[in-house]
């Protein structure tokens, strides 16, 4: 496809956010009579679903301690449910299964889900939790569980299938998706305006009226191209200002696949199970040699689901910080020097042992762990929650802080914002919240994105 000299709207990134914004913006333009999808191009240096969206675990959940995140996810679940076939979406539900240190947090999530009409069941107490879990899985054997939050909506989507489905919906509206084009910078207006006038690429410049950046973990590179601040000042809950906080940190995401028949992991009645997330402080022993993997009293967690797209049971565990300095970290997940995208032996040992801790059916399955690339690197903001905001009059940045794939609905909200109708759901994620001290509350979860 020839590179146009000008496009009203240039969207960078052919993943969940870029394509969702493109599709919904095309629909908004058409409905308003102000244009159509032919006014939009999507650029990607590799291809559709070639980045984080293409290897995402695909979990869709509302299990957030933060009210703003929970409301935003309720909106996104609505969007997932609007076309489950195109989005390859499986509405099987989601379970947060927790130890006592998280009991109060999870109870608060349940109460606030009730308040917004998001259906879930909440079970409390060790005996009742064990009985409830065994009513679903006769071989359930996890220890130290005192609360279970069972969301009846949510579930998961097949990653690449959903992104290609989204691309198909965008192209049906006339959107042009141009791959193999690397964005190298931006041209800005002179004088009183700070607006972007063109997107620079390795194939030439593209004049534009508006730019959307939805590039997942690569957002840092575009932030730097725009010369936005590398550090921020954050007003803490104590009212004190904390200066020179790095804008970006990177975490290694640990995920993998156990190559067993997905049919192995079903509920007692033969149904597809909900997505499972377990956080416990019970002692975790190796499923290989019985050695202690996690000591009693230290909280650890995992998530998992059967997935025919992955050809087994797929999931992950707690991430860990990347020690490479932020400005030196090179993100090229498909390059030859990318060992961080291969599941580590330590993760495999922990995760399969954790599966066996939860279900007897996974005992003796260590040899079936798949050693193909999985996981990846996530780019996180100072508080580990997204920044959704507009810069330079005509540039919207979607910095998802590794919450990305599940947030299909963000693109719809960004499209509405571009058309002049900013949703209240986006406002808690503006960049100014750091200086204003309007931060999201944090939970006791071992996962930084919760």
Query: Is 23 a residue whose pLDDT tops 90?
Result: yes
Does 235 reside within a domain? Answer: no
Q: What is the DSSP string of 132-192?
A: HHHHH-TTB---S--EEEEESS-EEE-HHHHHHHHHHHHHHTT-EEEES--EEEEEE--TT
Whether residues 62 and 163 share a domain: the answer is: yes
Question: Which residue would you say has higher pLDDT here, 76 or 345?
Answer: 76
Whether residues 353 and 441 share a domain: the answer is: no
Query: Is 219 a residue whose pLDDT tops 90?
Result: yes
Whether residues 258 and 389 share a domain: the answer is: no
**332 — pLDDT class (breaks 50, 70, 90):** low
Each residue of 61-104: pLDDT tens digit?
Answer: 988 888 899 999 999 999 999 999 999 999 999 999 999 999 99
* Residue closest to 220 by CA, chosen among 390, 397, 428: 397
**426 — pLDDT class (breaks 50, 70, 90):** very high
Whether residues 66 and 172 share a domain: the answer is: yes
Query: Is 337 a residue whose pLDDT tops 50?
Result: no
Does 236 reside within a domain? Answer: no
Query: Is 316 a residue whose pLDDT tops 80?
Result: yes
- pLDDT at 236 (0 to 100): 87
- pLDDT at 331 (0 to 100): 72
Whether residues 107 and 25 share a domain: the answer is: no
Count of domains for the chain: 2
Question: What are the beta bridge partners of residue 252?
Answer: 320, 377
Q: Token pair of 285, please?
A: 């022993």
Q: Token pair of 49, please?
A: 């679903």
Whether residues 204 and 341 share a domain: the answer is: no
**341 — pLDDT class (breaks 50, 70, 90):** very low
- pLDDT at 52 (0 to 100): 85
Whether residues 119 and 129 share a domain: the answer is: yes
- Percentage of the chain exceeding pLDDT 90: 79
Query: What are the φ and ψ backbone dihedral angles of 57, each rounded to 5 degrees?
Result: -60, -30
Whether residues 282 and 425 share a domain: the answer is: no
End position of a domain, from candidates 358, 380, 402: 380
Whether residues 107 and 132 share a domain: the answer is: yes
**340 — pLDDT class (breaks 50, 70, 90):** very low
Taking a C-beta distance cutoff of 8 angstroms, is the pair 208, 10 a contact? yes
The alpha carbon of residue 86 and the mean position of all alpha carbons in its chain are separated, in whole angstroms, by: 19
| CATH for 318 | 3.30.9.10
Does 412 reside within a domain? Answer: yes
Each residue of 233-284: pLDDT tens digit?
Answer: 999 888 899 999 999 999 888 888 999 999 999 999 999 999 999 999 999 9
**Measured distance CA(396)–CA(423) in Å, rounded:** 14
Does 449 reside within a domain? Answer: yes
Distances 119 to 49, 111, 301, 305, 313 between C-alpha atoms, Å: 31, 11, 24, 21, 26
Alpha helices in 67-142 (DSSP H): 67-82, 103-115, 126-136
Whether residues 301 and 349 share a domain: the answer is: yes
**Domain residue limits at 446:** 1-90+154-230+383-450
Q: Token pair of 241, please?
A: 């200002």
Each residue of 378-424: pLDDT tens digit?
Answer: 899 999 999 999 999 999 999 999 888 999 999 999 999 999 999 99
Does 239 reside within a domain? Answer: no
Does 135 reside within a domain? Answer: yes
End position of a domain, from candidates 356, 380, 404: 380
End position of a domain, from candidates 353, 380, 407: 380
**Measured distance CA(139)–CA(341) in Å, rounded:** 32
Whether residues 291 and 363 share a domain: the answer is: yes
Does 241 reside within a domain? Answer: no
| CATH for 28 | 3.50.50.60
Whether residues 146 and 274 share a domain: the answer is: yes
Does 148 reside within a domain? Answer: yes
């Amino acid at each position: 496809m020839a590179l146009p000299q000008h496009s009203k709207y240039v969207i960078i990134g052919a993943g969940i956010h870029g394509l969702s914004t493109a599709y919904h913006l095309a629909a908004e333009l058409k409905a308003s009579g102000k244009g159509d999808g032919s006014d939009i191009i999507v650029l990607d240096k590799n291809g559709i679903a070639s980045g984080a969206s293409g290897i995402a675990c695909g979990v869709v959940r509302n299990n957030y301690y933060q009210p703003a995140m929970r409301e935003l996810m309720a909106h996104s679940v609505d969007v997932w449910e609007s076309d489950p076939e195109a989005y390859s979406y499986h509405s099987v539900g989601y379970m947060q299964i927790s130890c006592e240190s998280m009991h109060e947090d999870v109870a608060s999530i349940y109460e606030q889900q009730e308040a917004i009409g998001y259906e879930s069941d909440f079970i409390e107490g060790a005996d009742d939790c064990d009985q409830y879990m065994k009513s679903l899985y006769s071989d359930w054997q996890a220890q130290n569980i005192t609360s279970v939050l069972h969301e009846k909506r949510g579930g998961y989507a097949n990653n690449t299938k959903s992104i290609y489905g989204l691309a198909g919906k965008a192209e049906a509206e006339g959107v042009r998706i141009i791959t193999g084009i690397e964005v190298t910078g931006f041209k800005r207006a002179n004088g009183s305006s700070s607006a972007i006038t063109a997107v620079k690429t390795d194939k030439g410049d593209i004049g534009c009226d508006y730019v959307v950046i939805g590039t997942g973990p690569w957002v840092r590179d575009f932030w730097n191209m725009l010369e936005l601040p590398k550090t921020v000042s954050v007003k803490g809950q104590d009212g004190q200002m904390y200066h020179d906080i790095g804008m970006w940190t990177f975490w290694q995401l640990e995920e993998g696949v156990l190559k067993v028949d997905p049919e192995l992991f079903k509920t007692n009645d033969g149904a597809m199970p909900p997505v499972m997330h377990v956080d416990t402080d019970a002692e975790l022993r190796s499923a290989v040699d019985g050695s202690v993997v996690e000591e009693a009293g230290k909280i650890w967690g995992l998530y998992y689901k059967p997935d025919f797209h992955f050809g087994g049971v797929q999931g992950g565990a707690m991430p860990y910080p990347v020690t490479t300095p932020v400005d030196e970290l090179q993100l090229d997940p498909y390059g030859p020097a990318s060992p961080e995208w291969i599941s580590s032996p330590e993760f495999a040992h922990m995760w399969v042992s954790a599966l066996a801790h939860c279900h007897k059916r996974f005992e003796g399955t260590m040899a079936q762990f798949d050693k193909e690339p999985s996981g990846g690197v996530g780019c996180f903001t100072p508080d580990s929650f997204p920044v959704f905001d507009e810069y330079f009059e005509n540039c919207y940045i979607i910095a998802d802080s590794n919450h990305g794939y599940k947030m299909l609905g963000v693109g719809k909200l960004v499209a509405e914002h571009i058309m002049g109708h900013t949703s209240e759901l986006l406002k808690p994620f503006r960049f100014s919240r750091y200086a204003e001290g309007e931060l999201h509350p944090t939970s006791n979860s071992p996962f930084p994105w919760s």
